[in-house]
Amino acid sequence: MAADRIHLVRHGEVHNPDGVLYGRLPNFGLSVRGAKMAQIAAETIQKTGRPVTALFASPLQRTRESARPFSQIFSLDAVLEERIIEPFNIFEGRVVSGTNILIKPHLWFHLRNPSKPSWGEPYAEIVARVEAAVLDAFNSVQSGDVVMVSHQLPIWMLHSKVAGRKLPHNPNQRRCALSSITSFEMQNGKLVEVGYQDPAFELRKNAIDVGAV
């Protein structure tokens, strides 16, 4: 026996008034709006009536805080899972824009190979660790669904792998909104994406979302 479905949930909006790329930096928790987004995501899964029997979260503050509504609703403790953490990034702590990078030639070297990418953890390594974590999560329970609270790029990498897409991509074209839910099942021994939901759509109209590249 194993889990019926895995839901990869992205964290809610982060309190980030300076608009920096926070990556793995500490002390970046949810904004008030982000906490509401996380609550909506948890309630969205609750409304399906599907039992949730395990909860995992990336160890970063914003994902642990986004897991709290799931803990409360489903009476589960969140297990910290390092393999679904945000990738490391050389631009952490900076306001990332084309202009900011162009006027700082010492940063150009980090853009030499976008297909890897050269500014952070290689895409192939991200998808390998996330896929391994998800497969282990399937086998962590006897039945029911599992929720894993993670970040945009790890979720998008697994989506890309499962969909047969190339891993290098334009970050602006990721379909992985704040507090979105990307769901997977095992079908005939193969990982298959079975749904995507954007329950916090109305709240994110004015949200700040610059956590990763």
- Higher model confidence: residue 102 or residue 65? 65
Residue 187: what pLDDT?
Answer: 96
Give the Cα separation of 126 and 157 in Å (integer): 7
pLDDT by residue (tens digit) across 98-124? 445 444 545 545 455 666 776 689 999
Residue 165: what pLDDT?
Answer: 94
For 5-206, CATH number out of 3.40.50.1240, 3.10.310.70, 3.90.1170.50, 3.40.50.410 equals 3.40.50.1240
Which residues neighbour 180 within 8 Å (Cβ) at sequence distance 6 or greater? 9, 10, 41, 155, 196, 197, 198, 199, 200
Which residues neighbour 73 within 8 Å (Cβ) at sequence distance 6 or greater? 42, 43, 46
pLDDT by residue (tens digit) across 75-84? 999 999 999 9
Give the Cα separation of 16 and 22 in Å (integer): 8
